[in-house]
C-alpha cells in the first residue's frame, strides 16, 4: 500500500503546489480527489483480487497525508521565489487605493511581513493535511469502486457429464 500512496501523494502535492495549475482544486479539490483515485488504481493493479472500498479509503488517506508533505516541500521555496512579485503587488494595491478603510490598510500592510507568509503556509499545510486527506479518501473510495477487478467465476473441481436420459 505504501508505493500507491506515495505516487498518489506526489500527484496531489505537485499539482496542488504549482501556480495556475492549482486552481483546478477550486473545483471540489479535483487534484486531491484525482490523487486518491490514482492511489487506489495503482493498488488494484498490484493485487490479483478486487480491492474493497476500505482499502481505497485507507490508501487515499495515506496519499492525502503524503500529498500535504509534498505540497509543503514545493510551496516553501516557491513562496520565497514569488515573494518579491507578491510584495510589489500588495504595495501597488496600497498606493492605488487611498480610500480603503484603516483596518483594511493595516491588514494589507501586514501581508508584507514574512511572519504573515509563514503563518499562511502553516495554515495551508494544516488545511491540506486535514481536508486534503478527507477528499483524497473520497477519491480513493471512488477509485476502488471504479477500478475494481471483477472476480472470476469459481472453477469446478472436476466436471462430470450428467447421466443419459432414459428412453421413452
Per-residue confidence in pLDDT tens, the chain, 168 aa = 899 999 999 999 999 999 889 898 888 889 999 999 999 999 999 998 899 999 999 999 999 999 999 999 999 999 888 878 877 877 787 777 777 777 777 777 777 677 878 888 999 999 999 999 999 999 999 999 999 988 766 766 787 788 888 887
Q: What is the pTM of this model?
A: 0.78
d(CA 119, CA 99): 28
Question: Which residue has 490479483 as its cell numbers?
Answer: 48
Residues, the chain: 168
Which set of grid coordinates corresponds to residue 138? 473520497
d(CA 51, CA 7): 18
| Cβ–Cβ < 8 Å for 140, 36 | yes
Which set of grid coordinates corresponds to residue 124? 495551508
- For residue 148, give every residue at least 6 positions away whose Cβ sits within 8 Å of its Cβ, in sequence order, or none: 44, 50, 51
d(CA 102, CA 62): 45
Amino acid at each position: 500500500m505504501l508505493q500507491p500512496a506515495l505516487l498518489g501523494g506526489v500527484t496531489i502535492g505537485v499539482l496542488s503546489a504549482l501556480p495556475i495549475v492549482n486552481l483546478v482544486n477550486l473545483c471540489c479539490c479535483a487534484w486531491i480527489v484525482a490523487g486518491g483515485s490514482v492511489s487506489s488504481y495503482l493498488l488494484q493493479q498490484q493485487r490479483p483480487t478486487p480491492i474493497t472500498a476500505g482499502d481505497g479509503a485507507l490508501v487515499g488517506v495515506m496519499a492525502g497525508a503524503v500529498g500535504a508533505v509534498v505540497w509543503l516541500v514545493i510551496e516553501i521555496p516557491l513562496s520565497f521565489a514569488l515573494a518579491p512579485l507578491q510584495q510589489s503587488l500588495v504595495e501597488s494595491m496600497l498606493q492605488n487605493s487611498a480610500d480603503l478603510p484603516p483596518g483594511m490598510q493595516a491588514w494589507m500592510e501586514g501581508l508584507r511581513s514574512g511572519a504573515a507568509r509563514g503563518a499562511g503556509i502553516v495554515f495551508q499545510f494544516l488545511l491540506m493535511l486535514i481536508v486534503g486527506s478527507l477528499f483524497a479518501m473520497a477519491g480513493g473510495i471512488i477509485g476502488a469502486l471504479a477500478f475494481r477487478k471483477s472476480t472470476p467465476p469459481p472453477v469446478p473441481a472436476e466436471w462430470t457429464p450428467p447421466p443419459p436420459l432414459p428412453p421413452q
